Chain A
Amino acid sequence: MNSEEVEDLVRRAQQGDVSAFERLIAEHLPIVRRFARAFARGHEAAADLAQDALLKVYRSLGGYRFQSSFSTWLYAIVRNVYLDDARSRAGRDRAAERPLEPGGVDADPTVDVDAPRADRRLEREELRRRVWEALGTIPGEFRATLVLYDIEGLTYEEIAAIEDAPLGTVKSRLSRGREHLRRVLGGPDATRLEEAEVAGNSSAADLVRRKRTEPA
């Protein structure tokens, strides 16, 4: 869709043309919905959240002044809606939430991943489920950056425009998001390893490495 077409659709949508708005957002729907998936528990909640975000985009359309690309503007609003929702839910859910220990994302009891004949596909499905769940535990701002970069494949510059933040901040959020994800999924203890290496304590670093490779 070229820029003239987008501009025309935006102007029509600003006048209340719902079909123009639907055409505008059609190509962004999968990203908006996957993005929502990282901020909601389950597909249904994600769909509700995505709907709310898109409705907010529609209501805010009168304020769009073509100062940035439509997609940047749209994702910025969507991201804010998701972050606001995550913040408001965080307080309510904190008491009810189970603490998530490193490597402690529970396995689905219906899926026996330890069985020797476990299907590769099932394992993959299980890992996907764990990754979605682990994503949900990452602080909102890091999570948004991680999803936009690692899953949706946006560039640092695009994310910086969406988040209205410098490139350095985006890289830092991405790094911290990945570190959090790795910790939750029970990956190698990179922080302790780095600490030991930075301190010049090679024996401690070796110990951490050995501990990683040892069978449980």
Chain B
Amino acid sequence: MSSDTLKSILPEDVRGVLDELRDELPPDEREFVARLHRRLAAAGPPPPPGWLERLGAGAAAIWQDAPQRRSLVTGAVLGALATATAFLVLSGHPLRDANPAASPDDDVADVDAPGTLDPAEHKTLRAVGDRRIMRDRLGDDIGAERAERARPGVRGGR
């Protein structure tokens, strides 16, 4: 749609006025400039951009300047993410808490399994860290030893 077609929806006299407004000079120009000068002088020099603005400007420059750089940047970001994920997986670092319910033979799993304890009791046990581990990682029973260990502050211990 051409601008003339668009403009033709306005009445002719309004179109004329819009054209005239372009030549309209705002009043009190001297006063305006003088007041602006005072305010600019009072404002001091413009602050330098902060690190975030500089980073944003740099990123925007890379993003806008050359389209071929965009794919480079996108590739680098995706590559870094993939590498980080691969390292996490290969190092065996759990991405989140292991699900105890996944190993039903484990006593810990029995204690923590949903439905074994009511929610309040479950929360309390987890909160004090009193997870009664009965077996070590190799599956040896350590429950008996643990039961005999004295606990400080517990009345009647030892």
Contact = CB atoms under 8 A, between A and B. Distances in A.
Contacts of A178: 6-7, 9-10
A22 interface: yes
B11 A187 contact: yes
B40 A21 contact: yes
A62 B47 contact: yes
A62 B6 contact: no
Given A127-B14, A128-B21, A187-B14, A18 B6 contact: no
B28 interface: yes
- Measured as residues with beta carbon below 8 angstroms from the partner, the interface class of chain A is 35 or more
Contacts of A171: 1, 6
Contact of A47 (B28, B41, B48): B28
B45 A131 contact: no
Interface string B53-91: 100010011001000000000000000000000000000
Given A55-B39, A150-B7, A128 B26 contact: no
A66 B41 CA distance: 24
Interface string A140-162: 00000000011111001000000
Interface string B1-42: 101001101110110011011101111110011011101110
A67 interface: yes
The SS class assigned to the A binding surface is helix
Contacts of B39: 51, 55
B43 A182 contact: no
A18 B37 contact: yes
A185 B16 CA distance: 14
B26 A54 contact: no
Contacts of A58: 40, 43, 46
Contacts of A22: 33, 36-37, 40
Contacts of B32: 29, 33, 47, 50-51
Nearest to B29: A29
Contacts of A21: 40
Contact of B26 (A18, A33, A59, A153): A33
18 contacts: A14-B45, A15-B45, A18-B37, A21-B40, A30-B25, A37-B26, A51-B36, A55-B43, A61-B46, A65-B61, A127-B17, A149-B3, A156-B3, A174-B6, A175-B9, A178-B6, A182-B10, A188-B11
Given A33-B32, A46-B26, A58-B40, 4 more contacts: A29-B32, A47-B26, A55-B36, A178-B10
